[in-house]
Amino acid sequence: MTPYLILFSFSFLAATVLPFSSEVVLYALIRSDTPALPLILAASTGNTLGAIVNWGLGRYLLHYRDRPWFYFKQEQIDRAQRWFQHYGIWTLLFSWLPLGGDVLTFIAGVMRVKLWLFVLLVGIGKSVRYLAVLYLARWQFLP
């Protein structure tokens, strides 16, 4: 497997509820002198596509909220919707945050945020995070 496919896969999984850390893989690949721009593109694309899975779950999973196995209580959904309505779609720029970022992408699906706008905002936020990892990895080891 190429390093780009490995990074893409880890980034995709890290955007879902699975506990993966794509930043560690990116950092290791940057340190191995793999070209940076394709790494950033692979990580950002994989992470954004993983967030689209969360958006889709949020959009369509609410159809099952009356089922006994449904994870969230109606009060939790109502609270999350109020919070999202108050702070707005711009919060999606923070979908890269380790705690709460995945929840934001799920809530965006529940709130029926348009997919093109979701992809734009989430893609920007996640790309900036990976660029920051690149910068820190390069800056840390400058002579």
Domain ranges of the chain: 3-140
Query: What are the angstrom distances between the C-alpha of 74 and each of 53, 66, 113?
Result: 22, 9, 20
Angle between helices 115-140 and 101-110 (to 10 degrees): 170
Task: Give residue 117's identity as a one-letter amino acid code.
Answer: L
Q: What is the pLDDT at residue 123?
A: 96
Q: What is the pTM of this model?
A: 0.84
Tens digit of each residue's pLDDT (9 = 90 or more) over 52-111: 999 999 899 888 888 888 777 788 778 878 888 888 889 999 988 877 788 889 889 988
CA separation for the pair 62, 55 (Å, rounded):
12
Task: Provide mean pLDDT across the span 13-29.
Answer: 85
CA separation for the pair 68, 59 (Å, rounded):
19
